[in-house]
A and B are shown apart, each in its own frame.
Chain A
Amino acid sequence: MNTKIDYKKELEAASRGMIMIHDPELLIKLIVRMIVGKVQIKHAGMIVYDADQDMFVLNISKGETGFKIPAGFARFDKNHPIIALFNKKEYRSLVLNRNAIVTQDINKLIWQESVMREGSGKKEMLYKVADQMHMIGAVACVPAYYSDKLQAVLLLGERNDGDKFDQQELDFFAALASDAAMAIRNAQLFREAKREAEKTRDLFFRTTLVLASAIEIKDKYTHGHTERVTNYAVLIAQQMVLNGSANFDQKFLENVHISSLLHDIGKIGVPEVILNKPGKLTDEEFEIMKRHTTDGVEILRPLLELKDALDGVKYHHERYDGAGYPDGLRGDEIPMVAAIIAVADTYDAMITDRPYRKGRSKEEAVAEIKRNILRQFHFQPAQALIELYQAGKV
């Protein structure tokens, strides 16, 4: 009698401690290990529902070799008798007053069922359950539900002393298993939410790519320009972090990425004759060309998520000395994301061939950028590009 009370206290104490554990794998491991250790049974295991693959997998097992089912070895589909017994509403009544199915109950249950409700299918079900429990060496199975869905089944082998489990013990097992079920469900909801967010983010990035490639179709001379500028801009921003001249967070680096992908999107509104003109633009044509910065912002405005990235679209033609467009901002008035794209954009424009001129060498382009620090360019992004060039990275 005394040992029973101690054992109840042990379980309660353990259960309290487990409330603090949120990792379901660890929690299940602890529960199974504790049951095997404290209750002295030959083996115990837990079948856990894996929502991602829509199946039940026996993932934790503990106890004597030969009795326990190796972890990860077996899965149980929804029609497996033990799963179906707990999962299907019509069988729930068989389990209800015990919180479990116990082998020594099964004969009594079968007798009741065959006397009272011949043809309900429950008798046949019970035979199958008994056979399966025999095959895996379980004498009791305890289900764990979360919001009425089966999340896990605790499998219990024989006690070392051969005694039966009493109802108090079964109730405690059920309580432990239901803790585990809650932890499993929470972890799964968390994974789902994370996956959803990643999906949305991915869709957003790919939408950005679609927009960016739309302009490339129209502007055939700048084929690949967007991709290269994006590459340079991201490298420059990273280099500024590495050389200690800036302290950008992940969000800023993402903005540089998106902003440079979209920096020329406003060119969709510029007539193709101007975009593809082989030679210098007239003043009038240049005025139209300049509009691509503000048009870009107008096109993208409905995408509220892009708010911070719009600065790069609008101001990537501003100059440090204030002689740029569209607003003639100067120095630190120019957002850093735009200053970075300005360097990347100019560098790529200089080193690529155009129909009316050959591209310059990288060396010449870098020298030109260096000459224009604090005229056209901010010091830090220009310096970062020079370093990247010296390291052979651009």
Chain B
Amino acid sequence: MIAKLESLERELDMPKLLIVDDEIDIREFAKSYFRKRHIEVYTASGGVEAIEIIEQEKPDLVLLDVRMEEMNGVDVLKKLRESGNKTKVVMVTGVKEETTIQEAERLGVAGFIHKPLVLDELEKIVLKELRG
């Protein structure tokens, strides 16, 4: 009984992570990856869906891909900040996207991670931001 309560408590306490990427393989892989680290994972395939989930579920951290078909990551970030939302965001970028990086920095992000990324680094930055 106590064990059950404890596990329930842990579940309620589980940090929430939202993964925004228009590639289903990335969303699903990242979801199963972070669930193994006992993180509650939400996914969104585009900007509109992402903003909806951020408002409803209030995730502790958003992993936001820069390059997306429908609305790019920076625009999502801009919309979010314009509405006064201060949710922590880590941007996932390609290697040489200098202007994007500057723009995102101006809007306020917790960090960047570049593709192809080291899974261990991704994990570290996510865990650090979820704890801090």
What residues of chain A have their CB less than 8 Å away from a CB belonging to chain B?
Answer: 57-58, 61, 65-70, 72-77, 80, 132, 134-137
**In the complex, which residue of chain B has the Cβ closest to the Cβ of A131?**
B36
Q: Are A57 and B116 closer than 8 Å at their CB atoms?
A: yes
The total number of A-B Cβ pairs within 8 Å is 49
Q: Are A73 and B118 closer than 8 Å at their CB atoms?
A: no
Q: Are A65 and B116 closer than 8 Å at their CB atoms?
A: no
Q: How far is the CB of B57 from chain A (nearest CB, A)?
A: 20
Q: Are A70 and B26 closer than 8 Å at their CB atoms?
A: yes
Which chain B residues border A73 with CB–CB below 8 Å? 25-26, 29, 115-117
**In the complex, which residue of chain A has the Cβ closest to the Cβ of B122?**
A74
- The answer, among B26, B36, B116, B118, for a CB contact under 8 Å with A134, is B36
Q: How far is the CB of A242 from chain B (nearest CB, A)?
A: 39
- Is B1's beta carbon under 8 Å from chain A? no
Q: How far is the CB of A198 from chain B (nearest CB, A)?
A: 23
Q: What per-residue 1/0 map shows which CB atoms of B86-125 lie under 8 Å from chain A? A: 0000000000000000000000000000011111100100
- Complex Cα distance, B30 from A74, in Å, reads 11
What residues of chain B have their CB less than 8 Å away from a CB belonging to chain A?
Answer: 23-26, 28-29, 31-33, 36, 115-120, 123
Q: Are B118 and A65 closer than 8 Å at their CB atoms?
A: no
Q: Are A69 and B29 closer than 8 Å at their CB atoms?
A: yes
- The answer, among B23, B36, B116, for a CB contact under 8 Å with A74, is B116
- Complex Cα distance, B123 from A70, in Å, reads 16
Do A136 and B25 form a contact, CB below 8 Å, given A66-B31, A66-B32, A67-B32?
no
Which chain B residues border A132 with CB–CB below 8 Å? 119
Which chain A residues border B115 with CB–CB below 8 Å? 72-73
- The answer, among B28, B117, B119, for a CB contact under 8 Å with A136, is B119
- Complex Cα distance, B36 from A137, in Å, reads 10
Q: Are A76 and B26 closer than 8 Å at their CB atoms?
A: no
Q: How far is the CB of B90 from chain A (nearest CB, A)?
A: 15
Q: How far is the CB of A56 from chain B (nearest CB, A)?
A: 10
**In the complex, which residue of chain A has the Cβ closest to the Cβ of B32?**
A66
- Complex Cα distance, B120 from A136, in Å, reads 11
Q: Are B116 and A58 closer than 8 Å at their CB atoms?
A: yes
Q: Are B120 and A70 closer than 8 Å at their CB atoms?
A: no
Which chain B residues border A80 with CB–CB below 8 Å? 118, 120
Which chain A residues border B120 with CB–CB below 8 Å? 80
Which chain B residues border A75 with CB–CB below 8 Å? 116-118
**In the complex, which residue of chain A has the Cβ closest to the Cβ of B28?**
A66
Which chain B residues border A58 with CB–CB below 8 Å? 116
**In the complex, which residue of chain A has the Cβ closest to the Cβ of B31?**
A66
Do A76 and B118 form a contact, CB below 8 Å, given A66-B29, A66-B32?
yes
Q: List 27 A-B contacts (CB under 8 A).
A: A61-B25, A65-B25, A66-B28, A66-B31, A66-B32, A67-B29, A68-B25, A68-B29, A70-B23, A70-B26, A70-B29, A72-B115, A72-B116, A73-B25, A73-B29, A73-B117, A74-B116, A74-B117, A74-B118, A76-B119, A77-B118, A80-B118, A134-B36, A135-B33, A135-B36, A135-B119, A137-B32
- Complex Cα distance, B36 from A65, in Å, reads 16
Q: How far is the CB of A124 from chain B (nearest CB, A)?
A: 15
Do A65 and B28 form a contact, CB below 8 Å, given A70-B23, A134-B36, A135-B36?
yes
The residue in B33, B36, B116, B118 that gathers the most chain A C-beta atoms within 10 A of its C-beta is B116
Which chain A residues border B119 with CB–CB below 8 Å? 74, 76, 132, 135-136
Which chain B residues border A66 with CB–CB below 8 Å? 28-29, 31-32
